């Protein structure tokens, strides 16, 4: 008699991660590259957090949100990269069902929170550039605190909803995830039931949120660029530099979310490359983008390290 799998019954206790490559030499190269990138990610983002806390000149809403972004990037990369590095030394690359669920929860928590944060940062720049006289009234510290609390609450709600939906599915057969970390689209592919409704929920939630936020961000920056046409060259140049940095981060981060979550759960060859860029490279690039294009950050870094800009330039 054939065994019947109940809707909430799961017989799979572990999943097998396929990783980025099965070639041992390639895995060693991947390990070296991603270890260096991860260490630099931690150093760069932690340095930004310390610099902003240390320098009173950076105690403004813009740098408050940037500090939050660096903190999220540290957490975001830590959810996936250390596990991937450890798995390069393992042949089986097993991850328990519970560990997989925890990884999915924090992955979506930090990713969704960062999307909302990038949107808030765009609003902050819009107010600063288009309504400078009202800036400190509109973006006071109470508002900044409320916005920060709201974006973290939104991330938690999104993550709890997605994780809860995923663990209600039955997993009874296939156990190999075609990735180097657990994510909802790849995991629900292994469920022994029809997942079309869940795929629609993913597209309508994560995909739609990513697309809508991206459109809102593009519109806000378009308004900012139109406003900058009336500015004097020096002020315009500094504002353009800040907006260019923000827009670069937005494109890199939301590009992945739109690519992965705005279509049905079908594995594509490009998924691993895009996911690797999302998990490791984007958090690594953020400190470079914000510090190399931001004179205030560079000045604060020189001050923190005890160097003077004049000496550094010689």
Token pair listed for 272? 């691993």
Secondary structure percentages of the chain, helix, strand, coil, to 5 = 75, 5, 25
Beta-strand relationship, 14-17 and 176-177: parallel
pLDDT tens string 175-198: 888 888 888 888 888 888 887 888
Residue 257 in any domain: the answer is yes
Helices (H) and strands (E) in the chain, counts: 13, 3
How far apart are alpha carbons 135 and 124 in whole angstroms? 8
* Domain around 165: 14-299
Q: Please tell me whether residue 236 adopts helix, strand or coil conformation.
A: helix
Identify the top-confidence range among 26-30, 144-148, 277-281. 144-148
Residue 152 in any domain: the answer is yes
CATH number of the CATH domain containing 126:
1.20.1070.10
Residue 173 in any domain: the answer is yes
How far apart are alpha carbons 180 and 239 in whole angstroms? 39
Token pair listed for 309? 């800009």
Q: Please check whether residue 9 is in contact with residue 191, taking contact to mean a CB–CB distance below 8 angstroms.
A: no
Beta-strand relationship, 14-17 and 94-96: antiparallel
pLDDT tens string 46-88: 999 999 998 888 899 989 999 999 999 999 999 999 999 988 8
Compute φ and ψ for 177, nearest 5 degrees: -95, 125
Handedness of CA 228, 230, 232, 233 (dihedral sign): positive
- Total structural domains in the chain? 1
Tell how far CA 197 is from the center of its chain. Answer: 26
Residue 24 in any domain: the answer is yes
- How would residue 150 be classed by pLDDT, with cut points 50, 70 and 90? very high
Compute φ and ψ for 131, nearest 5 degrees: -135, 60
- The predicted structure's pLDDT at residue 252: 76
Residue 101 in any domain: the answer is yes
Residue 59 in any domain: the answer is yes
- How would residue 167 be classed by pLDDT, with cut points 50, 70 and 90? confident
For the chain, the straight-line distance linking the first and the last C-alpha, in angstroms and rounded, comes to 82
Of 42, 46, 48, the C-alpha closest to 66 is: 48
Segment 303-307 shows an average pLDDT of 71
Residue 312 in any domain: the answer is no
Residue 98 in any domain: the answer is yes
Q: Please check whether residue 283 is in contact with residue 74, taking contact to mean a CB–CB distance below 8 angstroms.
A: yes
């Amino acid at each position: 008699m054939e065994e019947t799998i109940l809707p909430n019954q799961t017989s799979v206790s572990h999943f097998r991660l396929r990783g980025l490559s099965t070639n041992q030499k390639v895995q060693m190269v991947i390990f070296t590259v991603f270890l260096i990138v991860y260490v630099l990610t931690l150093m760069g983002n932690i340095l930004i957090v310390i610099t902003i806390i240390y320098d009173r000149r950076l105690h403004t809403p813009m740098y408050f949100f940037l500090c939050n972004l660096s903190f999220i990037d540290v957490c975001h990369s830590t959810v996936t990269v250390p596990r991937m590095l450890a798995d390069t030394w393992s042949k089986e690359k097993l991850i328990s069902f519970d560990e997989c669920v925890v990884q999915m929860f924090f992955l979506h928590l930090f990713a969704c929170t960062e999307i909302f944060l990038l949107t808030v940062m765009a609003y902050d720049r819009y107010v600063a550039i288009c309504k400078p006289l009202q800036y400190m009234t509109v973006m006071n510290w109470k508002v900044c605190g409320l916005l920060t609390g709201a974006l973290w609450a939104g991330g938690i709600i999104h993550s709890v909803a997605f994780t809860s939906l995923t663990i209600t599915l039955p997993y009874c057969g296939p156990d190999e995830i075609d990735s180097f970390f657990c994510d909802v689209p790849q995991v629900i592919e292994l469920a022994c039931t029809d997942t079309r409704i869940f795929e629609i929920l993913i597209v309508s939630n994560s995909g739609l949120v990513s697309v809508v936020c991206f459109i809102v961000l593009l519109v806000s920056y378009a308004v900012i660029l139109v406003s900058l046409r009336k500015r004097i060259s020096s002020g315009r140049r500094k504002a353009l530099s800040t907006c260019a940095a923000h827009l670069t981060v937005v494109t890199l981060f939301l590009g992945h979310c739109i690519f992965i979550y705005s279509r049905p759960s079908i594995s594509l060859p490009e998924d691993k490359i895009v996911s690797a860029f999302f998990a490791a490279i984007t958090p690594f690039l953020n400190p470079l983008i914000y510090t190399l294009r931001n004179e205030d950050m560079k000045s604060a870094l020189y001050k923190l390290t005890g160097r003077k800009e004049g000496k550094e330039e010689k």
